[in-house]
A and B are shown apart, each in its own frame.
Chain A
Amino acid sequence: MAVIHLNGLVKEFPGHVVAVDHLDLTIQEGEFVSLLGPSGCGKTTTLRMLAGLEDPTSGEILVDETILSSREKGVFVAPEKRNMGLVFQSYALWPHMTVWENIAFGLEMHHVPRAEQKERIASVMSMLQIAGLEKRYSFQLSGGQQQRVALARMMAMTPEVLLLDEPLSNLDARLRLEMRAELKRIHEKLAKTTVFVTHDQLEAMTLSTKIAVMKDGRLQQYGTPMEIYREPANLFVAQFVGSPPINVITPDAAVLFHSVPANGSVSTYGLRPEALRFGDGDWTMEARVDAILPTGPEWIVQVNVDSFPLFARTDREPGFGAGDTCRVAADFEAFHRFDNSGLRIA
């Protein structure tokens, strides 16, 4: 069993930059957790603290009952003793070593006997489908191959926990999809606890068993992808997850705002584009069509109601064109409600 606990984790850099602010997170054995958030929200810093490359300013990191980092208790376990494998955003392949040497280096550092080294390297390389590249240097590899080598280098060490920092962000769209499937396959096969950093919400949604959404170093919500999508804890999460983004309806869109029944002190409504239908429903509005954007399987339609813009998403070809008027509708329970501090109202 290995349950990772982050308790009140804080990292402050010189100059009062608080990169991570009282982060509490529990990661169960075998989970695939994504840290999701905009650039600079502290994802990498969190991962680096987990790996032991950064010393938390306060708070603690535990695996089961064992403390890994805690300034208060004066404990710090060195990175190599944590049995965690880290893949860097830039891959950090050593340019002066071949693929084989890159993978072998860590094993050598752990005095793994030659024969076993060979066996392990061959097996990770075949698992990641890079067999045959042993003698190449990193500059002779494509982006996707480099990425696989970085993964292989980490996995040859058979870490208990895999830490991945935006490993797919440098790949083109097709490769990214391929590697996403690959990561999922590997995770299902090895069932290793994985912490995955990304700012791509789609990546987080498709890969994770749980997502931790962060902003300005603070945890916004921690839950399964569906919980995050269906019950965003606050306006930020609602807006960050989903594409096209959720429609945000504020009181200045008076016609829209006041036609939805309120419970409590709602100050903002959110309506997912796919919840906005064409036709009639609990809530129906007269709208003008501004633009129609076909994506292939779907159509994204921008309409405006009383000059307030809304996005709709539909998989049926709309029977009207830009400039036409139409009726838009939604069910009352499709509206997300947020109070004036942005928190979800149940």
Chain B
Amino acid sequence: MPVDRTPTLRSGLARGLVRLRHDPTAIIAAVLVVVLTYLVLGPVLSMLASGVRVQFRDAARLGLEPGHLTVAYIQRVFQSRISSVLFWRPLVRTLVVSISVLVGSVLIGFVLAWILVRTDFPGRKTLSRVMVIPYIAPAWTFALAWLTLFKNRRIAGSLGIAEGLGFSLPNWFSYGAVPIVITLTFSLFPLAFLLFGGALQSVDAQLEESARVVGASRTAILRRIVLPLLLPALMSSGLLILARTIGSFGTPYLLGSPVNYTVLGTSLYGTIQRGEAGPAGVLTAVIILLGVLAVSVDVYFVREARRFVTVTGKGGSQTPSRLGPLVVPAGMFVYGVILVSLVLPLAALVLSTITRAPGVFRRENFTLIYWIGRSIPQFPGQPGLFRNPDVIRAAWNSLRIVTLAAIISGTLGTFIGYVSVRYSTSRVALYLRQLSFMPYLVPTIGFGAAYLTLFAVRRGPIPSLYGTIWLIVLAMGINYLPFAARTGTAAMMQLGREPEEAAMVCGASWWKRITRIVIPILKKTLVTGVILPFISGMKELVLVIFLATPGLELLTTQVLRYIDYGYTQLANAVVVVIVVIIAVLTMVLQKITGTGLTSGLRGG
């Protein structure tokens, strides 16, 4: 090949340009820094700032200029007449709920993991897969199922199936702490199950065998060897569950509001809805702080867990212990969990969409009118689901908005991974990774509200997005960034930079390197990186609750509308559709990557 070393550019600028054309990673990094700072840090900071700056509506009352620094909102939240309603009581309730859910899910998850990983329980492989399903369904599905089963006369809408069967249920059973804890537990235990299952599998059989050789009894081995090794997984799953329940909104909203059982998430919702930006900012800060606390403790324990793994190596294969006659109670437990967490809720939802009056099992009470009817007598102006223009519009909105958001998320995540690998040690990569993780810590409800206040008006080059799909697309795309960025970074790290550099030495341009080398190699991972946010987006309710405007309803917000109107059957029919979509996509995902699901689950 002829030698061509002519381009000896003398000026630094020209040389820089040559480098950039040859390798635009620096441009990508710069663009990412600007975009993420604007779209992640911007909303979060503005939300937090509103907690310490005088809001326009309070200026007169406080006697201060709008925008002036103030501690008034902090005082209002922590020590005023209403702070017990606004903060302290919700805080206590949040902690009560979170800790109960934590204990419940860890117990269920641990026992299940033990039975399905360490014993010869029949069908344990398939059952392990089934156990993950409750986590894939939106958490608030369980709340709706609860209402469908146990709603009493206190609020509007058709009654629960139990009342239809003639039971009269007390409020404390239909609404409030009890159902919130139960439904959250049954939607979150798979997280503990997955973490424990993984940990149990990685405990090296040799560790136990060597204990047996020195004469330890079975209980001693369990107590002194296995449980200590599982401790990091226990802490980790516990904290992840805590982090998720602390900011949860959908379930407490549906089950708590009828009896004014307010937790931090719903209290924040209340302040935002009443336009109290100041207290909302303070509450957001509190929730972020609690989340940061949980996550940083979790990071610590994950590191500990890794320490154990490196000590024990790959983990030998254990011979599953024989259950013997214990198979009966074990089976009751396993199938009981499946019944309560999966069969019952789904059956209740489906049943309610094909019966006119709840809990009546006579032939003439069954109907498909809510699915395909031209009009429904009790619901004026609402045809059945498949003919319903509102539902069809909402489905179309969901589809396009979530698709766009997933693509934005996946693309940003991939590029963050790319920059992280190419600039592995630089501050820029670190900054990008930290920013992309931030939405995980911000309560989703606050994040959505921040987007609304920030981008509802014209900001710099960005026109007002209010009432357009782009407001929701952006908020969603950014909200799922933590998972997308993690997928992208992991994939890129695994690929390393050498395959690309090999192409660079061969003279491939940046574009060629990306399209012919990097993307083809990472095809599967990139698809995963888009499908995961898509699944999350399809079931998203909390984020969009303020962003979906009339005419821009999504499937999930349509459910809320129908609940408000008391159109229970229609609401449940939409939920069933959402669950079906998610289940199908999840199966597709599992087809594409054997592990994508489990690894993606930890986050969302």
A residues in contact (CB < 8 Å) with B: 13-15, 51-53, 55, 63, 66-68, 73-86, 88, 90, 92-96, 105-106, 109-110, 153, 157-160
Of A14, A80, A110, the most chain B CB neighbours within 10 A belong to: A80
Question: In the complex, are the beta carbons of B8 and A105 less than 8 A apart?
Answer: no
Does B331 sit within 8 A of A, measured CB to CB? no
> At the interface, yes or no: B11 with Cβ under 8 Å from chain A?
yes
Q: Which residue of A lies closest to B14 (CB)?
A: A74
Chain A residues with CB below 8 A from B496, complex form = 90, 92
Interface size on B, residues (CB 8 A): 36
> Which residue of A is nearest B507, CB measured?
A80
- Asked whether any CB of chain A lies closer than 8 Å to the CB of B521, the reply is yes
Please tell me if B9 contacts chain A, counting CB pairs below 8 Å: yes
Query: B15 contacts A76, CB within 8 Å?
Result: yes
Q: B9 near A75 (CB under 8 angstroms)?
A: yes
A-B contact pairs, 13 of them (CB 8 A): A63-B5, A73-B10, A75-B15, A78-B18, A80-B508, A83-B1, A84-B505, A90-B496, A94-B499, A94-B503, A94-B517, A95-B521, A106-B503
Contacting pair B502 A51 (CB below 8 A): no
Tell me which residues across on chain A come within 8 A of B591, comparing CB atoms.
none
Q: Which of A74, A83, A96, A110 contacts B3 (CB 8 A)?
A: A83
Would you call A96 and B521 a contact (CB within 8 A)? yes
Contacts of B7 in A (CB 8 A): 77-78, 81
**Contact, CB under 8 Å: A53 / B9:** no
Asked if A68 contacts B505 (CB within 8 A), the reply is no
Instruction: Give the chain A neighbours of B504 by CB distance below 8 A.
Output: 53, 79-80
In the assembled complex, the CB of B25 is this many whole angstroms from the nearest CB of chain A, namely 12
Bound CA–CA A90/B19 (angstroms) = 26
Interfacial chain B residues near A67, Cβ < 8 Å: 8
Known A-B contacts A15-B425, A92-B498, A159-B1; A75 and B8 likewise in contact (beta carbons under 8 Å): yes
Q: Which residues of A contact B322 (CB under 8 A)?
A: none
Which 3 residue pairs spanning A and B have beta carbons closest together? A106-B506, A80-B507, A92-B498
Known interface pairs A76-B19, A95-B521, A110-B506; 5 further A-B residue pairs with C-beta atoms within 8 A, sorted by A's residue number: A53-B505, A80-B506, A81-B5, A83-B4, A105-B503
CB closest chain-A residue, reference B498: A92
- Which A residues touch B11, using CB under 8 A? 74
Q: Nearest chain B CB to A18's CB is how many angstroms away?
A: 14
CB B26 to nearest CB in A, in angstroms, measures 11
Separation in Å of the A251 CB from the closest CB of chain B? 42
Hey, which chain A residues are within 8 Å of B1, CB to CB?
83, 110, 157-159
Q: Who on chain B is nearest to A103 by CB?
A: B506
A66-B5 CB under 8 A given contacts A78-B22, A84-B505: yes
Bound complex: CA A109 to CA B501 (Å): 14
Nearest-neighbour CB distance to chain B for A124, whole angstroms, equals 14
**Segment 18-58 of B: residues with Cβ below 8 Å from A:** 18-19, 22
> In the complex, A92 Cα to B499 Cα: how many Å?
5
Residues from chain B with Cβ under 8 Å of A81 in the complex = 4-5, 7
A contact residues around B15 at 8 Å (CB): 74-76
Residues of B with C-beta under 8 A to A92: 496, 498-499, 501-502
Q: Which residues of A contact B325 (CB under 8 A)?
A: none
Q: Once the chains bind, are A74 and B4 in contact (CB under 8 Å)? A: no
Nearest CB of B to A213, in Å: 26
8 Å CB interface, B452-509 against A: 496, 498-499, 501-509
Q: Residue on A with the closest CB to B11? A: A74
Q: Are A88 and B502 also in contact (CB < 8 A) when A13-B425, A96-B520 are?
A: yes
Q: B507-537 vs A: 1/0 string, CB under 8 Å? A: 1110010001100110100000000000000
Residues of A within 8 A of B12 (CB): 74
Q: Contacting A94 at CB < 8 Å: which of B4, B22, B509, B521?
A: B521
Interface centre among B1, B18, B508, B520 (most CB of A within 10 A): B1
Query: Roughly how many angstroms separate A93 CA and B496 CA in the complex, as a whole number?
Result: 12
Shortest CB distance A72–B (Å) = 10
B427 at the interface (CB under 8 A from A): yes
**Residue on A with the closest CB to B428?**
A14
- The complex places the Cα of A265 from the Cα of B72 at a distance, in Å, of 78
Are A90 and B498 in contact, CB atoms less than 8 angstroms apart?
Answer: yes
Q: Which of A53, A95, A158 contacts B501 (CB 8 A)?
A: A53
Measured between beta carbons, the chain B residues less than 8 angstroms from A90 are 496, 498
For the complex formed, measure the closest distance between the CB of B524 and the CB atoms of chain A, giving whole angstroms.
11
B498 proximity list for chain A (CB < 8 A): 88, 90, 92
* Chain B residues whose CB sits within 8 angstroms of the CB of A68 once the complex forms: 5
* Minimum Cβ distance to chain B for residue A108 (Å): 9
Q: In the bound complex, how far is the Cα of B503 from the Cα of A109, in angstroms?
A: 9
What residues of chain A lie closer than 8 Å to B425, measured between beta carbons?
13-15
Residues on the A chain within 8 Å of B3, using CB:
83, 160
- Kindly provide the distance from the CB of A160 to the nearest chain B CB, expressed in whole angstroms: 7
Whether, in the assembled complex, B426 has its beta carbon less than 8 Å from a beta carbon of chain A, the answer is: yes
Residue of B505, B509, B517 with most partner-chain A CB within 10 A: B505
Question: How far, in whole Å, are A88 and B11 apart by their CA atoms in the complex?
Answer: 32
With A14-B427, A77-B7 known to touch, is A109 a contact of B508 (CB < 8 Å)? Answer: yes
Q: Which residues of A contact B18 (CB under 8 A)?
A: 76, 78
Flag if A77 contacts B521 (CB, 8 Å). no
A73 to B11, CA, bound (A): 8
Q: How far is the CA of A80 from the CA of B520 in the complex (A)?
A: 22
- Nearest to A55 among chain B residues (CB) is B19
Residues from chain B with Cβ under 8 Å of A55 in the complex: 19
> In the complex, what distance in Å separates the CA atom of A53 from the CA atom of B8?
17
Query: Which B residues are CB-close (under 8 A) to A106?
Result: 503, 505-508
Of all chain A residues, which has the CB nearest B1? A158
Give the distance in Å from the alpha carbon of A229 to the alpha carbon of B4 in the complex. 39
Q: How far is the CA of A52 from the CA of B501 in the complex (A)?
A: 10
- The CA-CA distance from A109 to B521 in the complex, in Å, is 18
